[in-house]
Amino acid sequence: MKAKNIIIVLIVSFFWLYSCKTTQETNHPILSFSLGGTSQIPALKISFHKGESYNRPTFALWMENLNGEYIRTLFVTKSYASGIFGHELVGDSIWKKTSGPSLQPAALPYWTYKKGLIEGKYLFPTPEHPFVDAYTGATPDQNFELKALSNINSRYRMMLEVNQSWDLNEYWTNNKYPNSKAYSHSAQPSIIYSVEINDDHKIFYMNPIGYGNPKGEDGKLNTNLNTLSTAMKIFKMIKIEILKN
């Protein structure tokens, strides 16, 4: 499938909705954005249910064709897309209490290499060269939803990469790569989720398929998840519903 088969037009709307008449499952902020199509009825609803390890992670959501070729990023957390994090990194290991520039190559390496170069020159987003071809926002601190309008005519894959800083375990220890500052800020590597979206079903669930480079040095997918622990519990469930064809 080629990118032109999916008409994606980023429209408006970033807002939080609260309701006193919601159930426990739906009582959470709703991050809403619109992608393509002309109908005002959302075609896709992507529900993120946080797991027991969830602590405002960095993540990116994007589309690929069935050959694994990148199509378009739908959402990426603002800190990574802008290169400005909540705590500015000075040198290799000094973190300020104020926000500022910080290069974190191990945060989302799989998506970073998939998306290609920014402005044809730059791999990692920075304040001078941010990634602007997607909707961005702060990571919600509760369960949340992304809603989209889209005109989808064929099969594709929805992809997600998520990472949480300083997420150590017995395998991914702080001395595993002592010479890599990028690893020391990440520990357990990013987790990559995927699901094929097609016309055969209305509900899909994203599942982990591997992890990214722990030092952020390439865009390879590593498929052995046996060493991961808390990183696998950042999200409890990621559900995609086709609301309108």
Q: pLDDT per residue over 7-49, tens digit each? A: 333 322 332 322 222 223 344 556 655 555 444 555 888 999 9
Please give the pLDDT value at position 15: 28
Please give the pLDDT value at position 185: 79
Please give the pLDDT value at position 42: 55
Please give the pLDDT value at position 134: 87
Q: List all residues 6 or more positions away from 59 whose beta carbon is below 8 Å from its beta carbon.
A: 75, 76, 77, 108, 139, 160, 161, 162, 163
Q: List all residues 6 or more positions away from 128 whose beta carbon is below 8 Å from its beta carbon.
A: 83
Please give the pLDDT value at position 218: 97
Please give the pLDDT value at position 141: 86
CA distance 5 to 154: 8
Q: Which residues pair with 75 in a beta bridge?
A: 61, 135
Please give the pLDDT value at position 32: 59
CB-based contact 189:214 (threshold 8 Å):
yes
Please give the pLDDT value at position 138: 85
Give the global pTM: 0.83
Q: List all residues 6 or more positions away from 54 whose beta carbon is below 8 Å from its beta carbon.
A: 233, 234, 235
State the DSSP string of 101-126.
E---TTTSHHHHHHH--BTTTBSS--
SS3 235: strand
CB-based contact 221:204 (threshold 8 Å):
no
Low-confidence ranges of the chain (pLDDT < 50): 1-27, 37-39, 87-89, 92, 94-96
For 237, other C-beta atoms within 10 Å of its C-beta total: 12
